[in-house]
Amino acid sequence: MLFVFDLDGVLYRDNSIIAGAPKTVCYLRKAGHKISFATNNAMLSRKAYVKKLNNMGFDCTPDEVMASAYAAGLYLKSKRAGGKKVFVVGEKGLQQELKTAGLKVFTGRSRVSLPKSTAYVVVGLDRKFNYKALKLAREYIEKGAKLIATNKDYTYPGKGGIFPGGGSLVAAVEAASGVEAFVIGKPMPFMLNKLREINQIKSKDTIVVGDRYDTDIVFGKRAKTKTIMVLTGVTSKKEALKYKGKARPDLILKSVCDLKKYY
Ligand SMILES: [Mg+2]
């Protein structure tokens, strides 16, 4: 089986490891399963996630990590966008990944003079988002730039409460431009297709493990994989049990540590 783990709310919360999670991942590897990690969070590059996960004891390789900023770069590469200009609403991780993918990156904070037009506008979470960036994004889209979103999560749980997510910024750009974004992150299929391609594995042999119904579980359901919901993150047991029949996750577990009982 290929296990596709969401990160925040599943393996850690903020920067605290879910007790026993690294041991569980290690156990699954030893039992012969393949492991991958998929996150909608576009603030960090893939390299930064590999470092973060390794520091927490998950012993991963870059090939196992699919983060939406990296995936946006992969997507644009697949569109032969190398050398093209992109206006980015997003933080360093996203900017870096798009540069690595061969694009010429501009932001509302660029010191160089901005181009008249760009081929793409890519939007992810940017904690320094402002009116100028929104105005520029709208103008580039009006002139023909394609709008791409790393994800549409309106909020995310952080230290001290709920924070506006990348999806809130995407919504602002969509409203200002009148154009709907193409979405890279979960629940859209791009990242899962890539992971299955890398691992040469079919949907029926894939299991998505997540804490959020509308992103993680829907991500798996749409691709016809198995889905496992854990209750260490966003979704409560009460909410998880509301989904009946085919909509229900195949398993609802207190934490990833319970995977040992089933696999
Ligand atoms: Mg999560």
Residues near ion ligand 1 (Cβ under 5 Å)? 6, 8-9, 211-212, 233
Query: How far from each other are the two terminal CA atoms of the chain, in whole angstroms?
Result: 9
**Residue 172 CA, ligand 1 centroid: distance in Å:** 23
Q: For residue 85, which phi and psi values (nearest 5 degrees)?
A: -90, 145
User: Annotated catalytic, 153?
Assistant: no
Q: Report the C-alpha gap between 30 and 195 in whole angstroms.
A: 20
Q: Report the C-alpha gap between 217 and 35 in whole angstroms.
A: 17
Residue 14, pLDDT above cutoff 90: no
Q: From residue 223, give the alpha-carbon distance in Å to each of 73, 139, 191, 220, 226.
A: 22, 35, 11, 5, 9
- Amino acid residing at 89: V
Give me the torsion for CA of 256, 258, 259, 260, rounded to 10°. 130
Write the secondary structure of 60-80 as one string of H (helix), E (strand) and C (coil).
CCHHHEEEHHHHHHHHHHHCC
Arithmetic mean of pLDDT over the chain: 96
**Residue 56 CA, ligand 1 centroid: distance in Å:** 16
Residues 8, 126, 211, 216: which is the catalytic one? 8
Residue 158, pLDDT above cutoff 90: no
**Residue 95 CA, ligand 1 centroid: distance in Å:** 23
pTM score, whole prediction: 0.95
| Residue-wise pLDDT tens digits, 42-82 | 999 999 999 999 999 999 999 999 999 999 999 999 999 99
Residue 159: pLDDT band with limits 50, 70, 90: confident
Q: What is the mean pLDDT of residues 132-140?
A: 98
Ordered by where they begin, the domains of the chain are 2-40+186-261 (3.40.50.1000), 80-183 (3.40.50.1000)
Q: What is the mean pLDDT of residues 192-205?
A: 95
User: Annotated catalytic, 250?
Assistant: no
Instruction: Specify whether the CB–CB gap between 181 and 148 falls below 8 A.
Output: yes
Residue 157: pLDDT band with limits 50, 70, 90: confident
pLDDT at 160: 85
Q: What is the mean pLDDT of residues 125-147?
A: 97
Instruction: Specify whether the CB–CB gap between 198 and 10 falls below 8 A.
Output: no
Instruction: Specify whether the CB–CB gap between 58 and 31 falls below 8 A.
Output: no
Q: How many residues does the chain have?
A: 263
What percentage of the chain carries pLDDT values higher than 90?
Answer: 93
Residue 161, pLDDT above cutoff 90: no
| Residue-wise pLDDT tens digits, 200-257 | 999 999 999 999 999 999 999 999 999 999 999 988 899 999 999 999 999 999 999 9
**Residue 224 CA, ligand 1 centroid: distance in Å:** 20
Q: Report the C-alpha gap between 259 and 20 in whole angstroms.
A: 11
**Residue 246 CA, ligand 1 centroid: distance in Å:** 21
DSSP E strand stretches across 60-143: 65-67, 85-89, 104-106, 120-123
pLDDT at 77: 96
Instruction: Specify whether the CB–CB gap between 38 and 186 falls below 8 A.
Output: yes
Largest Cα separation within the chain, whole Å, is: 58
Residue 32: pLDDT band with limits 50, 70, 90: very high
Q: Report the C-alpha gap between 250 and 240 in whole angstroms.
A: 11
pLDDT at 108: 93
Q: Which residue has the tokens 């026993």?
A: 20
**Residue 81 CA, ligand 1 centroid: distance in Å:** 30
Q: Which residue has the tokens 């709208």?
A: 138
**Residue 212 CA, ligand 1 centroid: distance in Å:** 6
Residues 6, 153, 211, 216: which is the catalytic one? 6
